[in-house]
Structure 1
Amino acid sequence: MPVPLAELGPAPYAVDGASPQTAAGPGTAVRQPRSVPAAGRRPVGCPRALGAVRELLLVAALWAAYSLGRLVADGHVPTAMANAHRVWDLERALHLPDEASLQHLLAHSETLLRTANGYYAYVHFPATVAFLVWLYLRRPDHYRRARNTLAVLTGAALVVHLLFPLAPPRMLADTGLVDTAARYGPSVYGSPTADDLTNQYAAMPSLHVGWALLVAVGLVAATRSRWRWLWLIHPALTLTVVVATANHYWLDGIVAAAILALIPFLLPALRRPPASGTTGHPVRTPVQKTRADGGTVAMPSISSRLLTVSLTLAGVRRWQFAPKRFIGAAAPPRDPNGHRPPILRHVTVRRQDVEQWPTYVVTPVSGGSAGQILYLHGGAYATEITVGHWNLVARLAERTDRTVTVPIYPLTPEYGHRDVFPTLHRLYRRVAALGSADRLAVVGDSAGAGMALALVQSLPAGDPRPGDLVLLSPWLDATMTNPDIPAIAPRDPLLKPAHLRSLGHLYALPDLPSVAEVSPINGPLRDLGRVTLFTGTRDVLNPDARRLRHLAAEQGTEIVLHEYPGMLHDWVLTPIPEAKRVIGQIADLLTPTRPAAPPPPQLKPTPDRSPPPQPR
C-alpha cells in the first residue's frame, strides 16, 4: 500500500540516439542509462545543480500545499466575521494601538498609501525567495535550518487558519478602516464574494510578518557585518504596512512572531546547525532522544513530520484504498500501460514477459553480478506499481549491484490469490535458477511484503530458499483483527483498517482472508532464510509486524526487526531522510562479503504453456 505519489504517464524511452519508443514489448529495451562519468571526473556542479532543483521543487510543493490548504479553510464567513469582532475587542482590552489611527497617519499622502500597498503585494514573496537562494548559495550551513523553520511556520499558520478563520480588519464596517488596496491600488485580492482563488478569511497569523521576521533573523545570524541589525527594519516595516493597509490586526503579527519563537523548542532538530561535509552542504544526521532507560532513539526528521501533517490534512486515508474506487460503476478502467517505469538513472530496464505477466528486469550499470532480487510491489493487492516503487527498485539495484526482477501481477477485485501464486512460484524458480540461492533476495513492501512472505512459506520442499527475505511495512494479516490496531489507527495518515479488511476479503475469495497466502502471519515460520523487517510506529500494520517476530521466535526463527519511531506506512517510497537510511541498511545487508560470481544469464522469455487466468 504505497504512499500516494503522482504516477507518470506513458513516456517515450530513448535508446542512445534512436527514435523514442512508444511501446515496450517482451525482450525489448525499455531505456538506456545515462552515461556515467569516469571515476575521478564527475562534474562538481552536478550535485549542486540537482540539489538546487530539488530544493526549488520542495519549496514550490510546500507553497502549493499551503495555498490549497487555505482554500480548504475557506467558506466560514460568519465564523470569520464573529472572530474578527472578538479580536478587535481583545486588542482594545489589551490597550493595543488602534489600527485606524495608524492608517490615518498614512492617509495624508496618497503616494504613501500606494507605496504601502505595493510593499504588501510585491515584497513579501520575492524577498523570502531571494533570502533562501542567497543562503543556499552562500551560507549552506544555515540554509536547511531556515528552510525547515519556514516550512514549519507555514504549516502551523495553515493549522491556525483551519481552526480559527478570521476576517481582516478592512472587512469590519464599524472600525473606520478602509481597504486601501481596493481604493488606491495595487490590490492582490478581488471581491470577497467573487474571489475563488484565495481565502481572504485567514488573517491570523500574518505570514507577511512571520516570513519577514524569519528573513531578518536569518540574515542577522548568517552575516557578520556591524550593519546586519538593520535587517530588522524589514519585519518592522512589514508589520506597519499590513496594519496600515487594514489587511491584518496587531495580534496577527504578534501570533506569527510567537509561533516563530516557539519552533526551536518544539522541534529540537532546528536548534542545532547541521554538520558540514567537505562540499559545504549540510549533512543529515538523525537527532537522538534519550529514553527513560538511558538508551537513545532516533527522532523523526522535519521532512517526515511535514509529510505526515500534509497527508493528514489532505485526508488521504479516507479515499486511497476505499473499496468504491475499485468496485462498481464508479471504478475507473485500469490503464493497460500504468505499470510502465519512468526514466530511471544508473540502471537499464528491459521488459521480459513471463506467462503474460508484464515483467521488468532492472540491471545497474555496474552489471548486477552480485546476485538477484525478486521485488513484489505493494498497493493493497488493488493498485498498480507507482513511481515511488520504481525509484526504490532503481536504488536497490544501484546500491546492491544486483539485478532486480519486478513482476506486474494481476490485481483484485478482478483476480485473487489463487490466480497469482501458481505463476509467481514458476517465476521464482526461474529467477532462482540464474545464480546461487544465497545470492537471491525476495523483497516486498506492504501487500507485496505479505506476498513475499507467503511465497517463501509455500515453496515446495525441493525448491531453493532465498538467502534473504526483506519485508518493508508488511501487510501480514488481512483480517485486521489485532487488538492493538485501534490505538494506532487515528494516528495513521494513510491506512484505514476497514478499507484494508474489505480489499483483503476480495483478494482472498473464494477462501477466507485468514488463509496463509493472504494472511501469512498464519502460515509456517520455519526455513525462511534470513528475515529482515522494517516497520514504523504510525502504521496500523505495525502491531502485526511485532506479533510476527514473536510467533517466529516461538518456532525457532529469528526476525531482525527495525522499528522506526514516528514513521508512517511505506515511508521507504518517499523522499525523506529515513527512507535513504532504510535503503542504506538494505544495501549493507545484501552487499556480498566475498568476490562476486560471474554475471548470471539473463532471464529469458519462455513460451506460455498454461492458459492465463480469467477475471472473476
Structure 2
Amino acid sequence: MAEALSSDAPAFERVRARIEAATSAWAAGLTLAEIRDSFEAFLGAGEGAPEVRRTPLTLAGLPACAFDAPGGDAPRVLLYCHGGGFQIGSIRSHAGLMARIALASGMRVIGFDYRLAPEHRFPAAHDDAFAVYRALVEAGETPLALVGDSAGGALALGTAVRARDAGLALPKALVLLSPWLDLTMSGESYTALAEKDIFSRPEQLKAMARTYLGRDTRPDDPAASPVKGDLSGLPSVLVHAGGHDITLDDSHLLARRAGEQSGRVEVEVFPGMCHHFQVFEELPEAAASLARIGAFLRAL
C-alpha cells in the first residue's frame, strides 16, 4: 500500500480510490476498445479549465486539437504527446491536462491522436508524432517546446532526435512528465517502487511494450527507447516525476546521458507521487508541477 505523502492526504486518498476502481474494472475482462473508452472517461472526467477554448484541427492527416487560454499567446505553440503505453489515450483523455498547461503557460497547446497498438505497432506512434511536428515546422509554427507524459515522453524525445537528424528547426525545450523512455525497463525503480506506485504496474508496462514493439524490434533499439541513443545537440530538458513513480529511473538515466552530451537537463522529483500524477488536478503537487512548468516555459 502506498503512503499518502501528498500535502493534501484526503485528496490523495480520493485519487487512490478512483485509480483502484478504474484499474479493477480494466482487469475484469474488458475488451481493448472498452478499456480505451474507460481510460478516456477516467482521465477526461470534467475535462477541466472550461475557460480554455478548444479548436479541432487536422495535422499530417491526424485528428488534433488546439487549446487556447484566454489572453494566451497563440503564436507560441507547445506540441503535446499524450501517454497511454502506446495502446490507449487520446486528445479526450488528456484534454483537461492540456487545458491546464495552456493556462499555466499562457501558450497554445496542440494535442493529437496518433495510431495505437496492437493495430499499429512500432514505429507508427513515433512516425505520427514526427509527422505532426514536421507539419507544424513547415507551416512556420515550430513548437516552442515538445511536451509529453509517460509513453508520450518517449514520443517527444524521439521526435526531437529525429528533427535534429533531419535538419529541422528544433524546439527550445522538452518538458517530460513521468517519461517512459527505456522499454527494457532495466532501472531499479521498476522493482523498488512496484508496490508504491498507485497508478502503474511493471507487468502492465512490460505487456504494453511487447504489444507495441512486436517481434521485430528490440526494446533497447534507440528508435523505440530514445534515452539509449545519441542525445547530443538537443534543447534543454525539464523533467517532473513522482518519487513513487516506477519509471523514475528513466528520468535519472536521461539526466545522466543527456547531461553528459548536452548538459541541459533538470529533473524535479515530487515525493510520494505516482506515475504521471499531474493528471490528477485535485492534488496540490499536480498544481505545483504545472505552475513550475508554466514558469519554465514563459521564461524561454
Shorter chain as denominator, the TM-score bin is 0.7 to 0.9
- In structure 1, the residue matched to 2:238 is 532
- In structure 1, the residue matched to 2:274 is 568
Maintained 8 Å contact 1:370/1:591: no
Give the whole-Å Cα distance in 2 for the aligned partners of 1:395 and 1:304. 18
Query: Alpha carbons of 1:332 and 1:498: their partners in 2 closer, same or farther (altered >3 Å)?
Result: same
Structure 1 residues 120-199: aligned runs within 5 Å: none
Amino acid of the structure 2 residue aligned with 1:549: A
Pick one of 113, 130, 155 that aligns with 1:451.
155
Maintained 8 Å contact 2:241/2:251: yes
Give the whole-Å Cα distance in 1 for the aligned partners of 2:244 and 2:103. 29
Give the whole-Å Cα distance in 1 for the aligned partners of 2:225 and 2:109. 25
- In structure 2, the residue matched to 1:518 is 224
Give the whole-Å Cα distance in 2 for the aligned partners of 1:591 and 1:472. 18
Matched, 1:584 2:291: yes
- Using the TM superposition, give the Cα deviation of residue 363 of structure 1 relative to its aligned residue in structure 2, in angstroms: 2.0
Maintained 8 Å contact 1:323/1:503: no
CA-to-partner distance for each residue in 1:484-535, whole Å, 9 max, x for gaps? 4211101111211112111112112331222223222212221220100001
Give the whole-Å Cα distance in 2 for the aligned partners of 1:468 and 1:587. 12
Structure 1 residues 247-286: aligned runs within 5 Å: none
Maintained 8 Å contact 1:536/1:569: yes
Give SS of 1:417's match: coil
Give the number of the structure whose alpha-carbon radius of gyration is greater.
1
Maintained 8 Å contact 2:74/2:107: yes
Amino acid of the structure 1 residue aligned with 2:17: S
Matched, 1:427 2:119: no
- In structure 2, the residue matched to 1:502 is 207
Amino acid of the structure 2 residue aligned with 1:390: A
- In structure 1, the residue matched to 2:83 is 378
Give the whole-Å Cα distance in 2 for the aligned partners of 1:493 and 1:566. 10
Give SS of 1:384's match: coil
Amino acid of the structure 2 residue aligned with 1:500: L
Give SS of 1:404's match: strand
Give the whole-Å Cα distance in 2 for the aligned partners of 1:486 and 1:560. 24
Matched, 1:310 2:17: yes
Amino acid of the structure 1 residue aligned with 2:191: P
- Using the TM superposition, give the Cα deviation of residue 425 of structure 1 relative to its aligned residue in structure 2, in angstroms: 2.0
Give the whole-Å Cα distance in 2 for the aligned partners of 1:442 and 1:299. 28
Structure 1 residues 34-45: aligned runs within 5 Å: none
CA-to-partner distance for each residue in 1:560-606, whole Å, 9 max, x for gaps? 0010110111111112111111111011011157xxxxxxxxxxxxx
Give the whole-Å Cα distance in 1 for the aligned partners of 2:170 and 2:160. 7
Maintained 8 Å contact 2:177/2:239: yes
Give the whole-Å Cα distance in 1 for the aligned partners of 2:13 and 2:36. 32
Question: How many matched pairs?
Answer: 291
Maintained 8 Å contact 1:388/1:573: no
CA-to-partner distance for each residue in 1:417-451, whole Å, 9 max, x for gaps? 322333332321232345575x6111111111121
- In structure 1, the residue matched to 2:146 is 442
Pick one of 94, 101, 106 that aligns with 1:401.
106
Matched, 1:301 2:5: no
Give SS of 1:427's match: helix
Query: Alpha carbons of 1:486 and 1:406: their partners in 2 closer, same or farther (altered >3 Å)?
Result: same
RMSD of the alignment, in Å? Answer: 3.1
Identity %: 27
Give the whole-Å Cα distance in 2 for the aligned partners of 1:299 and 1:309. 11
Give SS of 1:371's match: strand
- In structure 1, the residue matched to 2:172 is 467
- Using the TM superposition, give the Cα deviation of residue 483 of structure 1 relative to its aligned residue in structure 2, in angstroms: 3.2
Unaligned 5+ residue runs, structure 2? none
- In structure 2, the residue matched to 1:542 is 248
Query: Alpha carbons of 1:324 and 1:531: their partners in 2 closer, same or farther (altered >3 Å)?
Result: farther
Matched, 1:349 2:62: no
Maintained 8 Å contact 1:371/1:435: no
Query: Alpha carbons of 1:421 and 1:487: their partners in 2 closer, same or farther (altered >3 Å)?
Result: closer
Amino acid of the structure 2 residue aligned with 1:577: P
Give SS of 1:490's match: coil
Give the whole-Å Cα distance in 1 for the aligned partners of 2:261 and 2:34. 44
Amino acid of the structure 2 residue aligned with 1:455: T
Give SS of 1:518's match: coil
Amino acid of the structure 2 residue aligned with 1:520: P
Maintained 8 Å contact 2:12/2:283: no
Amino acid of the structure 1 residue aligned with 2:161: Q
Question: By percentage of residues, which structure has more strand?
Answer: 2
- In structure 2, the residue matched to 1:234 is none
Give the whole-Å Cα distance in 2 for the aligned partners of 1:359 and 1:549. 30
Unaligned 5+ residue runs, structure 1? 1-158, 160-265, 268-297, 594-616
Amino acid of the structure 2 residue aligned with 1:310: A
- Using the TM superposition, give the Cα deviation of residue 311 of structure 1 relative to its aligned residue in structure 2, in angstroms: 5.5
- Using the TM superposition, give the Cα deviation of residue 475 of structure 1 relative to its aligned residue in structure 2, in angstroms: 0.6
Query: Alpha carbons of 1:334 and 1:304: their partners in 2 closer, same or farther (altered >3 Å)?
Result: closer
CA-to-partner distance for each residue in 1:126-176, whole Å, 9 max, x for gaps? xxxxxxxxxxxxxxxxxxxxxxxxxxxxxxxxx9xxxxxxxxxxxxxxxxx
Give the whole-Å Cα distance in 2 for the aligned partners of 1:323 and 1:549. 38
- In structure 2, the residue matched to 1:416 is 121
Give SS of 1:494's match: coil
Question: By percentage of residues, which structure has more helix?
Answer: 1
Give the whole-Å Cα distance in 2 for the aligned partners of 1:530 and 1:520. 16
Maintained 8 Å contact 2:129/2:156: no
Maintained 8 Å contact 1:441/1:468: yes
Amino acid of the structure 2 residue aligned with 1:564: F
Query: Alpha carbons of 1:588 and 1:511: their partners in 2 closer, same or farther (altered >3 Å)?
Result: same
- Using the TM superposition, give the Cα deviation of residue 384 of structure 1 relative to its aligned residue in structure 2, in angstroms: 2.3
- In structure 2, the residue matched to 1:363 is 68
Query: Alpha carbons of 1:388 and 1:354: their partners in 2 closer, same or farther (altered >3 Å)?
Result: closer
Query: Alpha carbons of 1:309 and 1:333: their partners in 2 closer, same or farther (altered >3 Å)?
Result: closer
Give SS of 2:237's match: strand
Maintained 8 Å contact 1:473/1:569: yes
Query: Alpha carbons of 1:382 and 1:537: their partners in 2 closer, same or farther (altered >3 Å)?
Result: same
- Using the TM superposition, give the Cα deviation of residue 546 of structure 1 relative to its aligned residue in structure 2, in angstroms: 1.4
